[in-house]
Structure 1
Amino acid sequence: MTQNFQVEVENIKCGGCENSIVKGINSVAKVTNLVIDQEKQMVSFSGEESIKQLVIDKLKSMGYPEKGSVSGLEAGITNAKSFVSCAIGRIS
């Protein structure tokens, strides 16, 4: 059964970030209605319940962790990853 999900994330800075997120999510899960809201730092999508955690894990691996889920050194690492993802998204 298809459900709608919203994940509040950190580190979305620009259109490059948005492009990287779309490509990254589409590489691991079959989602529909994928929307990235840079201002609200929100990723919304529809899909099966089983893919929600896949999407959250992929976002974190790209440097866009769920809000409040990382701190300290791990937060610094995810922030650095987001800059790399952003740059890749701007190029492609």
Structure 2
Amino acid sequence: MKNNIEIVNLKCGGCANSIKKGLLNIEGVSEVSVELETSKVTVEVANEEILSEVKKKLSSMGYPEIGDANTVIHKAKSFVSCATGRMSTEE
């Protein structure tokens, strides 16, 4: 089942790269795309339980869903995820 999740703190291709990599490591996620312009993550998941896991993973990486708490810790984690994503695209 395909789902769209609108997130906060998405800034660049480095963020998108980290998100794709992180979510594809979850068993039951078969496809991930990230739209920078709309801050939308589209995922193909096996079921609702996996979707819940995807949302938790996004939040733990610093990209909570719109409407969820966006704390200073989320913002700091997204900065680190962004930097990591940028470094992995330069290799």
Take 2:27 and 2:8, find their aligned partners in 1: how far apart are those partners?
20
**1:1-92 pair list within 5 angstroms:** 3-49=1-47, 50-71=49-70, 75-92=71-88
Unaligned runs of 5+ in 2: none
Count of residues in correspondence between the two structures:
87
CA distance, structure 2, for counterparts of residue 55 and residue 78 of structure 1: 16
Q: TM-score, normalised by structure 2?
A: 0.89
Q: Does the 8 A contact of 1:29 with 1:55 survive in 2?
A: no
The one-letter code of the counterpart of 1:51 is I
Partner letter of residue 66 of structure 1? E
**Cα displacement string for residues 13-55 of structure 1 (whole angstroms, at most 9, x for unaligned residues):** 0000001001110122332331101111110011212210110
Amino acid at match of 1:80: A
SS in 2 for 1:28: coil
1:61 & 1:68 partners in 2: Cα distance?
A: 15
* Aligned CA-pair RMSD: 1.1
TM-score, normalised to structure 1's length? Answer: 0.88
* Percent identical: 44
